[in-house]
Amino acid sequence: MPFRFGHMLGIEPLSAEEILFLLDQSKPFQEIQRHPLKKLATLRGKTVALAFFEPSTRTRISFATAAARLGADQMNLQAESSSLKKGESLLDTVRTLDAMKPDCIVMRHSSSGAPDFVARNLPLPVINAGDGTHEHPTQGLLDAFTIREKRGRIEGLRVAIVGDIAHSRVARSNIWALTKLGAEVTVAGPPTMMPAQVERFGVTVAKSVDEALEGADVVNVLRIQLERQRATLYSSLREYSRVYGVDAERLRRAKPDVTVMHPGPMNRGVEIAQDVADGVHSVILEQVTNGVAVRMAVLYLLAGREASAEPGGETPTPGAKRSHVESTVSPRR
């Protein structure tokens, strides 16, 4: 089943089959990461525009590395130096980038919905690299990919997501991906960080982190955004750590072979204890490696197509694509 969409705006609109297709597509790119030479010529002659209207290190470097390993050139726009300072609208900024003929735009923005807005107005494939508190779909995919690699499947797994659910686009993309693929997702966190009617996402709300961890196959610990919430949403870091932090003792309630995840950057000793972050159950660094693979797959699917998508449209990719990726996934020497 090929990928129907001309954009990657979120996990919510995808079907389970489409998510699985993306995970399958990512697999050969994951294998590339282990090769001594990781460079493909797949997107040679293509250009990936990286438009980060919000600061980012790891996601920006991950997409840039993915683009480079596919052989693509890059256009780099970072908010600090952008024309936005000169009063230009978001749409004019991205239209200007588009007029330089990149083959897709990877976009991060502090406003939820900004990538959708751009996708509706431009003929260019748009990849959401995180928008406000809405979605961070490649994070959702890389987390699902990592879980499947580690546990062999996603269906039927018990996954606990712990922390600031309300403000986390990572949580939202994870919830969509995992519930669609048949996992039982339980969330836990401070009441002030829990979205109203969170059950409508198809998750169970636990009364405590302990309850969420009970029998869990996977625990995904969210980052507390210290820079945003200090002193408002919870009384103190120590208090947060005591009540919501995932430490070795608390982790004993989970399955003995529980998989521990964190999207990074970590606040060690706050939401996650040192020994858990570095423990045998942690796949936190594998998530980072898999992130490059998943982003290579998404860039390949969206920037590699021959004709651009129609504005707002959904351009089916020919089935032939898939065999193409498999045949090109060998390092170029």
Footprint of a copy of itself (CB under 8 A): 33, 35-39, 44-47, 55-58, 60-62, 64-65, 68-69, 73-78, 80-83, 85-89, 92-93, 95-101, 225-227, 264-268, 285-286, 288-289, 291-292, 306, 331-333
SS3 86: helix
Residue 206 or 283: the one with the smaller Cβ distance to a copy of itself is 283
Q: Which of 168, 278, 271, 156 shows the shortest CA–CA distance to 217?
A: 156
Residue 202 or 264: the one with the smaller Cβ distance to a copy of itself is 264
Residue 89 or 110: the one with the smaller Cβ distance to a copy of itself is 89
CB of 268 to a copy of itself, least distance (A): 7
Quickly count: other Cβ atoms within 10 Å of residue 70's Cβ.
26
Check: CB of residue 222 under 8 Å from CB of residue 171.
Answer: yes
Q: How far apart are CA 133 and CA 169, in angstroms?
A: 5
CB of 183 to a copy of itself, least distance (A): 24
Q: Where do we find the tokens 């820079």? A: 227
CB of 305 to a copy of itself, least distance (A): 9
Residue 46 or 134: the one with the smaller Cβ distance to a copy of itself is 46
Residue 202 or 331: the one with the smaller Cβ distance to a copy of itself is 331
Judge residue 150's burial from the number of C-beta atoms within 10 Å of its C-beta, 0-12 exposed, 13-18 middle, 19 or more buried.
Answer: middle
CB of 201 to a copy of itself, least distance (A): 26
CB of 289 to a copy of itself, least distance (A): 5
Residue 38 or 253: the one with the smaller Cβ distance to a copy of itself is 38
Q: How far apart are CA 333 and CA 330, in angstroms?
A: 9
Check: CB of residue 325 under 8 Å from CB of residue 6.
Answer: no
Check: CB of residue 294 under 8 Å from CB of residue 22.
Answer: yes
CB of 151 to a copy of itself, least distance (A): 20
Q: Where do we find the tokens 């996708």? A: 119
